[in-house]
Structure 1
Amino acid sequence: MTPLGHAAVLGAGSWGTAFAKVLADAGTDVTIWARRESVAEAIRSTGVNPDYLPGVRLSDRVTATADAGKAIAGAGLVVLAVPSQTLRGNLAEWAGFLDADATLVSLMKGIELGTTKRMSEVIVESARVAPDRVVVVSGPNLAPEIAVGQPAATVVACTDVERATLVQNAVTTPYFRPYTNDDVIGAELGGAVKNVIALAYGIATAMGLGDNTRAMLITRGLAETARLGVALGADPLTFAGLAGMGDLVATCSSPLSRNRTFGEHLGRGETLEEAQAATRQTAEGVKSCLAIRDLARAHGVEMPITEQVERVCHEGVDPRTAVTALMSRTTKPE
């Protein structure tokens, strides 16, 4: 296994930048790749990412570049923090820069449209690496809170326990506590589906629906996530932990959540385009709900909340109609 050495974080959004800060605070030199040179220059010259984490000072161990090859060269740890639907195309360009046994870390929480593949599967295919080189980080990880040092925990999942432990040690700080897990499938599905449930939670919140409704969405949302996970071979216990319930609660309940905020716009009657224009950030659940729906249908798994979110987002169904459809389903045992 390639020694950790320095790390590359590919993606200068809020979570990529916050994760770079965690790595640096834990003692690793980090180069962030930013798509725009203006962002890279701001990080180099001021130690701040003004577009995504304004006011948060990064360690002197962090630098930035708009040259992906320069960022990746010699890195023992390569962290992928780009929008999930752009991963395959980006990796096709970046794979040639990777060291032979570098560890690849996925911060992305989505399912690929068209293929219904999880992000680790896309990494394995596109970068042509063995599955045991891919580590998934998932949990209640709202970037603005972590960036200012508020206590948080996460799951570091990999089929190779030694590699998971390597990453765990690389991101352990007084404010960030990682736990290892070998259930990559469960960690990824928990992270992807919770975005869709958070859209539903945001819709319900904007509609003025109360705590009973929102608690129902969280608990039944967790149930449909676990059903899909078990069908794909995940450990059901994973969904009771940080990558399942923990991430779901944080993403649904926090106003910092992009997916919840996007859902609130939809719940106020805005179109998908209007909500996108208002939020100006990627809400992964909007695209992933299509892929998750297809994945569930392919495995014969019922995911009624996901189905209704997809109808609201992509078929123009009124949120009130979607709520009625959810509540009029045939009754059954829990």
Structure 2
Amino acid sequence: MPDADAYAAARTRLDALVKPVGALGRLEDLAAWLSAAHGVVPPRPLDDVRVVIFAGDHGVRNVSAYPREVTAAMVRVFLAGKSGVNVLARQVGARVRVLDIAVDDDLDGVPEAVRAHKIRRGSGAIDTADALAPGEAERAYAAGRAVADEEVDAGADLVIPGDMGIGNTTVAAALVAACLDLPAEEVVGTGTGIDPAGRAHKVDVVTAALTRSAGRIADPFSLLTTLGSACAAATAGFLVQAAARGVPVLLDGVFSGAAALVAHRIEPAAARWWLAGHRSAEPSHSLALDALGLTPVLDLGLRLGEGSGAVQAVPTLRAARAVLAEMGLLADLG
């Protein structure tokens, strides 16, 4: 668990810095949170930041402005360092890793390490069938935990779960709706930029998925099997294991938010290690963050995914840490 004594000590020091009490607002909250996570005041530097993108396809059709072949193509873009998150991560010195969890492609020529945790080729169409076969949610969850261990063992100070997959926002909307007992109309957004007719179809898909799954999603793994995806299960495992290892997590957008809701059902205490990096433009993301009690660091109207929003919050966390580490004390004024 985060260190309550370190949190209290950070708050005491923040109030004693050369400024009015509370004058640095949210930066003070973040500084105290990081102190609790690290168990020391000031917190350790966030030098080694790692983004892990869980890539996979979904069987739902006509819910995106792009064809599903884009997922496989984007894996190669990530590896080439040319994606949005690659560019943004370089600005803060973060490392980006992409994993094929359920891409509907053999990805010939892609390094084997990218495919080492693959569960299946594509997840099922949740409006007409289960997303996963029996046991696959548990396997994907275990894979996500193993990936978290790999990143922590390699020295990660902060981890960010990213996502890539055509249909991701549809799955995320269905998971949020199921977790919070909400109708599809309240959780479905425009995703990749679909028009009103496309959104109406997406609402119908999520409604059909919720109807089909009624009475079959009592536990988290049944929920992931019926309405989720291999990527959602892997992300949930990643979030839980990073917390178990005592490493702070900066959540990204709607997909990681939905996975966090499920992960919270599996291990409620894990949420103490999570921060919301930003607020996505997707309506289900705000609903998920509210349910988790998380206030986003940034709110820029982003909806790219990939971990791209969360990496932009890293400088804010570093600034919060610097406040505790470098500001003088009122008591030291001459």
Flag whether TM exceeds 0.5 (same fold). Answer: no
Q: Which has the higher contact order (CA 8 A, sep 6+)?
A: 2
Q: What TM-score comes out, normalization by structure 2 length?
A: 0.26
Q: What TM-score comes out, normalization by structure 1 length?
A: 0.26
